[in-house]
Amino acid sequence: MNDTTSTAIAGHTAPRNEPGVTSLGLAAAAEAIRNGDITSEAYATALLQQARAMADIKSFITIDEDAVLAGAKNADRARSAGSAAPLLGVPLGVKDSYLTAGLPTSLGLDRLAHFIPQEDADAVRTIKDAGAIVFGKNNLVEMSYGLTGHNERYGQVKNPHARDRVTGGSSSGSAASVAAGIVPASLGGDTVGSIRVPASFCGVVGFKPTTGRWPRNGVAPISHTLDTTGAFTRSVEDCILLDRVVTREQAAEFGDGGSDLKGARLAFAPRQFLDLVDPEVEARFREVVQRLEEAGAEVVEVDLGDDFNALIQTATWGIFAHETMGAISEFLRRHDIPTTFDAIYEGLKPQLHQAWEHIVLPSGAGATSADVYQTALAVSRPEIQRRLNKAFVDRKAQVILQPTTPCTAPLIEEQATVHIAGQEVSYLALANHTVSASSVGLPGISLPIGLSRAGLPIGLELDAPLGSDRRLLRLARGVESVLGASSTAI
């Protein structure tokens, strides 16, 4: 493990792991603790052992073992006293962009390695209120600015399925820790794909709610227009549970079933989302579409226009870069974080420093002007929504389907430029599909749909209309039921 984690767990003898306990999903673990089948202390102890065994993937920056075990013992006492909190005694990972009271929050930066906030991010407070334990802080790309999982200070997060492959980013450690069986779920963040891309590469479920549905206060931002908090889990049911906890919605609103796809109307846009896709990923996607049709779903083909991808890329990346400086500066000021935007910029790794110089600083050659930014907000985004409404309104589709990523996880040594369908392209192409939902704030979820011939996970993304998160999660549960238990967690 990295420096912080090694110090935090030093001196403890690794316990003997309980067979199968680390494979429990969030809902199953919560139920087992609530029913007294296992204690929170025994479960936490097993997860800590798994964290040691999987230390080489560098999925955590900080784990305070003493605090985890103390929290587990407190949860067991609370259960004995009659508590039935929905996440009682279950440890969860938290991306290190979330403020956590009493636990270091680095934002992925060396200069904040020892910064300990006095407050929790709102989303962290909700899971704690529900009885969950913060297991540790997940590794991430510096300031959440990247799609591969590289961090100069805390190390490259490695894919649990193949240590020479990237995890995706920026929520790299969050996805890897769930896939590796270290935690049953983890909080992440998504601006253009930072939850769904690593979920696809690591073979877990990744949920990006409608922008603003989950609280964002206390989470280091990139763009107030695009940023969304969300989560990684091992099943859609676990995602539903976590969504209910964070939004404080009632369980009945999701229903108990929802696995029947008969009558469901799904859309896909091959000209837009199969244009640059590895043949093996496309073949698996088309096989899944066929299986959904055989299960009773109606799948309609839509065309979003020749310039749809260019429109999305230009508008969304322009908003992304233009808002970064102001969003970060305000976050640092509001939460009394002991650094400045300029200090962060000067301390960035060379590649990221160069990128910020080019697109984030107002003086940069690639910076988005105020006029272009306003056009993206006032003209491009409404046009993108109008195109998507061709599927959602005109064709009455409940979701749009696409491969989450156009390829499986690239090699770590080739992460600056990646190969997709025989072409060498920028790593930014890894978000070619996820960026469409981000552009207008739609809810999206990535589901694992099996492995490639090389044993690498493939993801399926479902995007739904604004505010239809509950319907999306119900449909995703139905898709998961049809496809079987596709989660490829280690």
Is 174 catalytic? The answer is no
SS (HEC) of 243-293? HHHHHCCCHHHCCCCCCCCCCCEEEECHHHHCCCCCHHHHHHHHHHHHHHH
Cα-based distances in Å from 357 to 90, 112, 338, 344: 42, 21, 22, 12
Q: How far apart are CA 228 and CA 213, in angstroms?
A: 8
Torsions phi, psi for 344 (to 5 deg): -60, -45
Residue 132 near residue 183, CB atoms below 8 Å: no
Exposed/middle/buried for residue 95 (C-beta within 10 Å: 0-12, 13-18, 19+): buried
Torsions phi, psi for 424 (to 5 deg): -95, 120
Q: Give the Cβ contact number of residue 310 at 10 Å.
A: 10
Is 95 catalytic? The answer is yes
- Say which of 58, 95, 128, 158 is annotated catalytic: 95
Instruction: Locate 431 and state its tokens.
Output: 């978000």
For the chain, the C-alpha Rg in angstroms (whole number) is: 21
Q: Identify the DSSP state of 92.
A: E
Residue 179 near residue 490, CB atoms below 8 Å: yes
Q: How far apart are CA 26 and CA 35, in angstroms?
A: 14
- Say which of 97, 172, 186, 194 is annotated catalytic: 194
Q: Give the residue carrying structure tokens 């590469």.
A: 201
Instruction: Locate 246 and state its tokens.
Output: 């964070």
Q: How far apart are CA 390 and CA 123, in angstroms?
A: 34
Q: How far apart are CA 482 and CA 463, in angstroms?
A: 18
Q: What is the DSSP string of 404-451?
A: SSSSSPPBGGG-SEEEETTEEEEGGGGGTTHHHHHHHT--EEEEEEEE
Q: How far apart are CA 242 and CA 151, in angstroms?
A: 28
Exposed/middle/buried for residue 270 (C-beta within 10 Å: 0-12, 13-18, 19+): middle
Is 262 catalytic? The answer is no
Bond before 170 cis per omega within 30 degrees: yes
Exposed/middle/buried for residue 53 (C-beta within 10 Å: 0-12, 13-18, 19+): middle
- Say which of 106, 170, 223, 380 is annotated catalytic: 170
Residues involved in catalysis: 95, 170, 194
